[in-house]
Amino acid sequence: MKKIIPLFFPLFISISLFSQNKLAYRLFDIKGKKVSYKALKKQVLKADIILFGEFHDNPISHWLELEIIKDLNKSENLIIGAEMFESDNQQLINDYLSGALNFNTLDSMGRLWSNYKTDYSPIVEYAKKNNLPVVATNIPRKYASKVFKNGGFQALDNLSDFEKKFIAPLPIDFDIELSQYKNMLDMMGDHASPDIVKAQAVKDATMAHFILQNYSEGDKFLHINGSYHSDFRQGILWYLMNANSTLKYMTISTVYQENVQKLSKENMKRANFIICVDSDITRTF
């Protein structure tokens, strides 16, 4: 006897299969609306400077960074900047990219992060292959440490003129009322100190300084940094806007959620685009 298949059966199969799909991440816009990578790419192409806020141990962030770099490199005069490299190591980075320096020397002298090989090497190797500049934007950690341990920004006053070349021009503007800085103090509780927030601020100011120092009209500058450094249009972007408000800035942030189908209220407005990653995803370190 001929079997009769109900009309709703294909729909049931389709819904069942969809419910079994496990999404590693979803993209959302600033209002929490789901968007495609195509929509993200369209806006990236319109911006002058893009701050890509990552979690340093997140493989989705690192993969998307490289994908955006590849797409930008098709038609743009691209510059890559990174929090992961300290400004006094710029010559080492340049020499490595030009082939004048081997990786072992860069590794031993460049104070590379422990996750460099898994997370940042693919980007640097792509830049090397495609003759793209990589800018070391972060303040040397020894100077940020001085700010924290030796009395705030005043600890930088005694640096030599040569040492001051590697940080943002003094004096450093600072607004303790910015919510991200206030949250840092709240999270630390009884151990809170304005000087640790100032150490964060001098990093933000220095990264903004070297972004603008290396940007020229017509360039596309993609900067990779921890999300906290640019969330809610603060941190690096606050300093960029204070220095030059005429450029087109765009921010990307990364968040973790148990459910990536809907962006939670606290994660809305963090950036122009938010990468919502499943909280169970494997971390790189």
With a pLDDT cut of 70, the percent of the chain lying above it is: 93
217 within some domain = no
Mean pLDDT, the chain, whole residue set: 92
> Which structural domain, as residue segments, surrounds residue 38?
23-68+227-285
248 within some domain = yes
CA distances (Å), 204 to each of 26, 139, 189, 241, in order?
A: 28, 9, 22, 12
108 within some domain = no
> What values do phi and psi take at 262, rounded to 5?
-140, 130
CA distances (Å), 245 to each of 23, 46, 217, 239, 241, in order?
A: 37, 16, 14, 10, 4
CB 125 within 8 A of CB 70: no
- Kindly report the CA angle at 80 between 229 and 68, in degrees rounded to 5? 90
pLDDT in tens, 168-189: 999 999 999 999 999 998 888 7
**Residue 165 or residue 187, greater confidence:** 165
With a pLDDT cut of 90, the percent of the chain lying above it is: 87
The predicted pLDDT at position 84 comes to 97
Q: What is the CATH number of the domain that holds 29?
A: 3.40.50.11550
Residue 3: count of CB within 10 angstroms of its CB: 4
- The pLDDT of 27-50, averaged and rounded, is 97
The predicted pLDDT at position 12 comes to 42
Q: Is 122 exposed, middle or buried (0-12, 13-18, 19+ CB in 10 A)?
A: middle
- The pLDDT of 40-50, averaged and rounded, is 97
> What values do phi and psi take at 214, rounded to 5?
-105, 0
pLDDT in tens, 263-283: 999 999 999 999 999 999 999
* Residue 48 neighbours by CB under 8 Å, 6+ apart: 215, 219, 220, 221, 247, 248, 249
- The pLDDT of 6-12, averaged and rounded, is 45
Least trusted range by pLDDT, from 17-26, 104-113, 173-182, 220-229: 17-26
pLDDT in tens, 134-147: 999 999 999 999 99
Question: How many domains does the chain contain in total?
Answer: 1
**Residue 47 or residue 15, greater confidence:** 47
pTM of the model: 0.91
- The pLDDT of 108-125, averaged and rounded, is 97
End-to-end CA distance of the chain: 60
The DSSP output letter for 1 is -
* Residue 195 neighbours by CB under 8 Å, 6+ apart: 147, 148, 149, 151, 152
31 within some domain = yes
179 within some domain = no
Task: Point out which residues pair with 249 in neighbouring strands.
Answer: 49
The predicted pLDDT at position 29 comes to 97
The predicted pLDDT at position 20 comes to 54
127 within some domain = no
240 within some domain = yes
126 within some domain = no
At 49, the amino acid letter reads I
